[in-house]
Amino acid sequence: MAKVATIELARISAWGVVQGVGFRPFVYRLATKYELKGWVCNTSEDVKIEVQGESKDLQHFLKELQENVPPQARIEGISVTYHPPTDYKAFEIGHSIAQEGKYQLVSPDIATCQDCRREVFDAADRRYHYPFTNCTNCGPRFTIIQDIPYDRPMTTMRSFKMCSECQAEYDDPLNRRFHAQPNACPKCGPQLELLDARGEHISSSDPIAAARLLLQDGRIVALKGLGGFLLTCNATDNGAVRALRQRKKRPFKPFAVMVADIAEARKNCHVSEQEEKLLLSPQSPIVLLRWQSESRVCQSVAPNLKYLGVMLPYTPLHHTLIEEAGAPLVMTSGNLSEEPIAKDNDEALRRLYGIADYFLVHNRDIYARYDDSVAMVERDSVQITRRARGYAPYPIHLSFQAKQVLACGAEQKTTFCLTRDNYAFISQHIGDLENLETMEHFENTLALYRELFRIRPEAVAYDLHLEYLSTKYALGLAGRFKLVPVQHHYAHIASCMADNGVETPVIGVSFDGTGYGSDDHIWGGEFLVADYNGFKRVGHLEYLPLPGGEAAIKKPYRIALGYLLKLLGEDSLKAGLPFLKQTDLVEIDLVKRQVQTGLNSPLTSSMGRLFDAVSALINVRGEIDYEGQAAVELEMAAYDGSEAGNSSYPYSIAEWDDVSVVHLQELFSAILKDMLQGVSKANISARFHNTVAKMVCEVCQEVSRSTGIKQVALSGGVFQNRLLLRNVIALLESAGFSVLTHRQVPCNDGGISLGQAVVANFAII
């Protein structure tokens, strides 16, 4: 007797990034392949599938469903239940179902895929040179979405009605553009327009070609990209780069460049296999690469630096603009100093007036501002220093079930973080919360995230610094939410733990420029024993004066002077130190008074400030244009200090009440001695880096002896210093520690909100 095949019906729910990434057509193709009947549809929380067929076919279907997902889809979870069969005649794609209170993950914007790129450069294709070409595997997502489910009417593409050809692609489940919400072509989609500095239309049949000529001619063009305007100019034209610096009032801050392809990247920088992979990834971030001396990119693009931020074209607009121009292009945020990146045409014309000579704009609105992400590969792992395009709003996975919490971040490089379920939704990089425009960006982005992920926080976490706008924002919510203050350096360490999914206690090394301490002093060179329930400060750099407070941060020579006076006394100033020769005597007297009286001279244990002080002291950098410049240039100097070998400077550690305080008098006097003996800046700097690494290891060993903890978490902006990071990890590992570093969120203040959110979650249990 022939065996009768069993017909079964499976109800499937798949969640994760499963919408706007070609998931339903993939399901459709799979169902067709196995001759299954039923349907698939999007809801506000998942993709629901009902399939009916022979059980062996169902099993194949389920296996492939999980193993062969489209490139941009990510299944976070799947559930399957079996039911008696019903009378399905075919397999269909159903309409989206919106559900109150439900949410799903939203895909970040994705760099142009190979298929779209091929079409854009195929003269016979109807999308030849069309800058808004995309498909379900690539293109804008987060920047155009206003709400979920992710359907065209919920995006800024709603104002473009598809032509019949585009509509046919959109409706065909077997087409790469099936339900690609931003689908468009030259006939029906967004269009480019070239404008002059005053916003007057410049007539041109090919605005990209016209812009390319302008760039070749040394002009500065503001380019509307995915998440806002970028200022661009020819990176091999020193005059153009200098003009851009002058107009942006940024003499030193490094600019990133976009190069046509990997071959061009290799002509300018050293590119490892890992770095190549990162450059070519769908996230397509700016990657900090080791710059070659024979590079044709002008030094003025990143003055005094040995690393260059490089990215590849990530939209068809960039591909078309650069592939035929050839030369690397500077691409820097379209803003004046620290305002958020301009996103609307009118806003750009107003705010970038006087900076850009021309504007290449288009009529597809940007809903969410979205900067380029910045990443580096260190010790074979990717570290993100600015997390935005390509990464946000994809969440970080938590090791526990979270409550609904909002964490407001700090001040510089701010992000906020919202938690629910086992997710931490960290916003894209918002910027320095120092002005109202950035605060508005913060509030608008927060409203969008709360809406997209349906989060109604029960607690709000914030930094102890009362002057931060993020703190003021949180305090303004008092009475409506439970407020949880979280100390800055503890938040850094908790962030690093969460980034690594670690809940057991760690020795946290939290090094940055400035953070408000629990004792009202400015912390920044901290050793903590911490877990999510709390922390104990077990070590720090000794307190030293910051003459003039905040003002000293922009003038590291003042810090050097203050530290010298405090540690070695006035006699040390008589040694004829080069950095003092440029300093005004009145200012020296002022600093002396501030150090003596303590007036307007707060105390700090900051490691960032120690780097600043040493940088100024040995005459590497006394005044800065961008945050961290003195320390960054000190690091650059150290790369040339090979004679220093493994040698280090002396320092001492004093124990007081179970707290190890690192004293720096011997360090400063040894550096002075080296200077007077004519040791090069490079070798002093290298030796200084060795010293800090040794110091970290020694304090950690001390703490480990009394606590038994063998796990060290490194966090804080100072660990963007790659040389220090490498040295510290090497020493700690050889001393038997396991070392946690950041992977998914920045070690700088861009990662603080994650730590705050995690701590708040444990505080409100």
Task: Check binding of 128 to Zn ion (CB under 5 A).
Answer: no
Q: Is the CB of 510 or the CB of 683 nearer to Zn ion?
A: 510
User: β-pairing, 534-541 with 37-42?
Assistant: unpaired
Rounded least distance, CB 387 to Zn ion, Å: 15
Helix 722-734, helix 681-707: angle, nearest 10: 40
Q: Least separation, in Å, of the C-beta of 21 and Zn ion?
A: 11
> Binding residues for Zn ion, how many (CB under 5 A)?
13
Using DSSP, state whether 403 is helix, strand or coil: strand
Per DSSP, the residues of 228-295 read SEEEEEETT-HHHHHHHHHHHT-SSPPPEEE-SSHHHHHHHEE--HHHHHHHHSTT--EEEEEEPTT-
H or E segment to which residue 67 belongs:
helix 55-67
Nearer to Zn ion, 531 or 749 (CB): 749
End-to-end CA distance of the chain: 63
| Nearest residue to 516 via CA among 456, 466, 478, 556 | 466
Which of 33, 118, 161, 187 forms a contact with Zn ion (CB under 5 A)? 187
Nearer to Zn ion, 214 or 493 (CB): 493
Residue 463 interacts with Zn ion (CB under 5 A): yes or no: no
Tell whether residue 493 is a contact of Zn ion (CB under 5 A): no
Pick the closer one to Zn ion by CB: 137 or 445.
137
What's the min distance (Å) between Cβ of 559 and Zn ion? 17
Is residue 137 part of the contact set for Zn ion (CB under 5 A)? yes
Q: For residue 47, what are the β-bridge partners?
A: 14, 42
Question: CB 447 → Zn ion: shortest distance, Å?
Answer: 26
Q: Does 113 bind Zn ion (CB under 5 A)?
A: yes
**Contact pattern from residue 539 through residue 578 relative to Zn ion, giving x for each residue in contact according to CB under 5 A and a dash for the rest:** ----------------------------------------
Q: Given the structure tokens 């492939």, which residue do they identify?
A: 64
161 is a site residue for Zn ion (CB under 5 A): no
138 contacts Zn ion (rule: CB under 5 A):
yes
Nearest to Zn ion of 110, 342 (CB atom): 110
Residues 411-440 that bind Zn ion (CB under 5 A): none
Q: Are 458 and 481 in contact (CB under 8 A)?
A: yes
- From the list 7, 78, 80, 188, which residue makes contact with Zn ion (rule: CB under 5 A)? 188
Beta bridge partners of 419: 405, 424
- And the tokens for 248? 């942006």
Least gap, CB of 219 to Zn ion (angstroms):
31
Q: Which of 120, 166, 662, 671 binds Zn ion (CB under 5 A)?
A: 166
512 lies in the site for Zn ion, by CB under 5 A: yes
The least distance separating Zn ion from the CB of residue 162, rounded to whole angstroms, comes to 6
Can you read off the two tokens belonging to residue 558?
């003042």
Asked whether position 119 contacts Zn ion by CB under 5 A, the answer is no
Question: Which is it for strands 229-234 and 329-333: parallel, antiparallel or unpaired?
Answer: antiparallel
Nearer to Zn ion, 308 or 497 (CB): 497
DSSP string across 307-358: EEEEE---SHHHHHHHHTT-S-EEEEESSSTTSPPP-SHHHHHHHTBTTBSE
188 vs 502 by CB, closer to Zn ion: 188
163 binding Zn ion? (CB under 5 A): yes
CB of 529 to Zn ion, least distance (A): 19
Q: Are 417 and 474 in contact (CB under 8 A)?
A: no
Candidate segments 150-158, 205-213, 507-515, 731-739, binder of Zn ion by CB under 5 A? 507-515
Contacts of 468 (CB under 8 A, 6+ apart): 410, 411, 433, 462
| Residue ranges in 698-757 that form contacts with Zn ion under rule CB under 5 A | 749
Q: What is the DSSP letter of 153?
A: G
CB 360 within 8 A of CB 246: no
Decide if residue 607 touches Zn ion (CB under 5 A).
no
Does 7 sit near Zn ion (CB under 5 A)?
no
Residue whose entry in the numeric block shows the structure tokens 């990443």: 375
Choose the binding region for Zn ion from 267-275, 456-464, 513-521, 695-703 (rule: CB under 5 A). 513-521
Polymer length of the chain: 765
In terms of CB distance, is 151 or 749 closer to Zn ion?
749
Task: Assess 244 for contact with Zn ion (CB under 5 A).
Answer: no
522 binds Zn ion (CB under 5 A): no
For residue 749, the minimal CB distance to Zn ion (Å) is 4
Our finding on whether 603 is near Zn ion (CB under 5 A) is no
Phi, psi (deg, nearest 5) at residue 311: -135, 165
Residue 137 or 753 having the CB closest to Zn ion: 137
Q: Minimal distance in Å, beta carbon 514 to Zn ion?
A: 7
Q: How far is CA 695 from the centre of its chain?
A: 29
Of 300, 609, 627, the closest CA to residue 431 belongs to: 627
Among 12, 105, 106, 116, binds Zn ion (CB under 5 A): 116
Interaction site with Zn ion (CB under 5 A): 113, 116, 135, 137-138, 163, 166, 185, 187-188, 512, 515, 749
